[in-house]
Structure 1
């Protein structure tokens, strides 16, 4: 078995792209400034890049899983065209209360639960001790902490930072570019 590698776990909406609320169309997807350059730097520093995103818009019937996959494929190619290769993409289409049909379940993958991270750790042979989670809200941090991630950062590019978020976060940064400078 190859040596485990550290990863940077990235939330999507509010971290990678502007959070316009239930983003499901290419026309609505807007990369945040500096994201591509920051991800390239993370890769140069030896980190795997793993996307972990709750997508309850699927469960709520706002868009289909197929629409999510179309957008995700476009995002992945857009990043690859600019030199960023995502090592893993994990998403949760469920919501235990607002969900419809097969998506209305209390799963173990919806953040704040750690299921997506645990799957990535196993699938990609991730060294959790030296990995970093970057999110924009408390549920991101809670998932990282539950999965054993020691360094959990919040960025100010998404949801408003709450007192609970400030308490749980290892640190709070303006954006991904600011994190690149400290790791």
Structure 2
């Protein structure tokens, strides 16, 4: 059985985009973010994070830092009774300072690779799935993966998620297939 998903960009959607966030002490949640994730969970959807992390390619931090931040975020969300079912990130950038990350990669948004990998790994039904991002490249990645993309304009994420649920009562229900 397939289950629909909500794919969330990280910086600018779940947390404030203050530039290359990797230290939990410097992460500031977007208003309503934890509650929005819990609402997505309670509605029966997978909740996934898909995030470009070019700070790794730029030598500002390493992949262990990204993974540690995601583990910390998961722990913080659990305090609200919320969960991210899986985190995907792409450390690559075509102009990377760190040689091993200097490449073009379909996993880097606007490419659909991170979304497609999660769809395959978790048996996601794309028909009822969406992506919420804060940049046009997020929406392009969603479109390339065959799902609907929404631009989060800022403000309260819970309010935004609720408006999407209300806007798409037929198509956003957790559907099979």
Aligned to 1:22: 20
Aligned to 2:6: 8
Aligned to 2:62: 64
Contact 1:92 1:109 in 2 (8 A): yes
- Where do 1:20-169 residues align within 5 Å? 20-149=18-147, 151-157=148-154
Cα drift, residue 81 of structure 1: 2.2
Using CA pairs below 8 Å that are at least 6 residues apart, which structure has the higher relative contact order?
2
Contact 1:155 1:174 in 2 (8 A): no
Determine helix, strand or coil for the equivalent of 1:181: helix
Cα drift, residue 176 of structure 1: 3.9
Return the TM-score normalized by structure 2.
0.89
In structure 1, runs of 5+ residues without a counterpart are 158-172
Q: Deviations over 1:32-72 (max 9, x none)?
A: 11111111111111111000000000000011111111111
Q: Count the aligned residue pairs.
A: 165
Aligned to 1:177: 159
Q: Distance in 1 between matches of 2:109 and 2:29?
A: 22
Q: Distance in 1 between matches of 2:93 and 2:161?
A: 31
Contact 1:113 1:142 in 2 (8 A): yes
After TM superposition, the runs of 4+ consecutive aligned structure 1 residues lying more than 3 A away are: 173-176
